[in-house]
Homo-oligomer: A and B are copies of this chain.
């Protein structure tokens, strides 16, 4: 009864749902406070009070038909202008409203970009490990998914990257900071990626786009800097979401940046705007757009995530686990003490610990722990992690 493209997704979804159900059963059995759920990427820090205050002000003061009404499919002019100004101030760019399209979260943003540039069988390159949903987004437009390997710092293997670019390559997706590894690709890496792409563009006589997916941009530690890629490579879309920085993931609000330097920029801007319409988003939610216009630059108190990272990373490595020290985002990528990380995740459930197997990010042998949870929960989990680890001691 359902379409062929959805058949496998529905089948696999029951597995995920099963995991979710198991979590609920654990909570009922042992009490919610005794289940250590590291599986979800839902922000744990309240939105800043500016969010509430600005929404109430908007409700009190704005014309209702404007506040909740249709506007251009690319978003309100004044909001787009404010986003451009903020970016210019922050990254020394020179955008204006004609470089900004307000979109329905980063997931919406990536979809409208892909719809605008991908033809059937065009290849899109993604660096492992990656947010599995990219596969579905690319399949929506009948594109082909191409994986690139990583090095021991979870940076892309640039040799492999070079080899994977073909005359069918249309775009690469970069997720920086990275979900699930917590890696941050620094300026040198971005420069190398840009150089490789420019050479391949010349070799094949065609444009290749970077789609830079940046919902974790502000969540970085130890002075890491996330390069603003439009400054390194002309054919770059930046896709941003306020889900993590403002703790508003349910509101679906973000923007796409399309720089003037992009080849055929005017037509592409129009295509992405129309894609926003015809894919059924129509426009980013209007009240949330207006909110962003008022408070852009504010964030939730993201320091909490730094505290959680240190607590979890130090705690686990002291026990004896091997893990990559996250440079950004709110995920810890832990090496499974045994080869089959799914078995490890199942074992962990016996200790009321829920984690996501690395195979879900094309990276078996690892597990992902989301530390966007209460610090106290992390502290109390460490004893259970110790008991779990003792199962695998020689």
Question: Once the chains bind, are A278 and B140 in contact (CB under 8 Å)?
Answer: yes
Question: Once the chains bind, are B282 and A285 in contact (CB under 8 Å)?
Answer: no
| A250 in contact with B6 given A42-B70, A65-B43, A65-B44 (CB within 8 Å) | no
Q: Mark A256-293, 1 if CB is under 8 A from B, else 0.
A: 00000001100110110011011111110111110000
Name the residue of chain B whose CB is nearest to the CB of A59: B52
**Cβ of A358: which chain B residues have Cβ within 8 Å of it?**
none
Of B51, B59, B133, B286, the residue contacting A55 (CB under 8 A) is B59
Most chain B C-beta atoms within 10 Å of own C-beta, residue among A1, A267, A275: A1
Q: Does A2 contact B (CB under 8 A)?
A: yes
| A46 in contact with B65 given A136-B278, A250-B283 (CB within 8 Å) | yes
Which of A112-120, A161-169, A309-317, A318-326 lies at the interface with chain B? A112-120
List A332-357 residues whose CB lies under 8 Å from chain B.
none
Q: Does A9 contact B (CB under 8 A)?
A: yes
Q: In the docked arrangement, what's the CA distance between A116 and B6, Å? A: 6
**Cβ of A3: which chain B residues have Cβ within 8 Å of it?**
115-119, 141, 271
Q: Does A386 contact B (CB under 8 A)?
A: no
Q: Does A182 contact B (CB under 8 A)?
A: no
| A104 in contact with B278 given A3-B116, A3-B271, A286-B250 (CB within 8 Å) | no
**Cβ of A107: which chain B residues have Cβ within 8 Å of it?**
277, 280-282
Question: Once the chains bind, are A274 and B115 in contact (CB under 8 Å)?
Answer: no
**Interfacial residues, chain A to chain B (CB-CB below 8 A):** 1-6, 9-10, 13-14, 40, 42-44, 46-47, 51-52, 55-56, 59, 64-65, 67-71, 104-105, 107-112, 115-119, 133, 136-137, 140-141, 207, 247-252, 263-264, 267-268, 270-271, 274-275, 277-283, 285-289
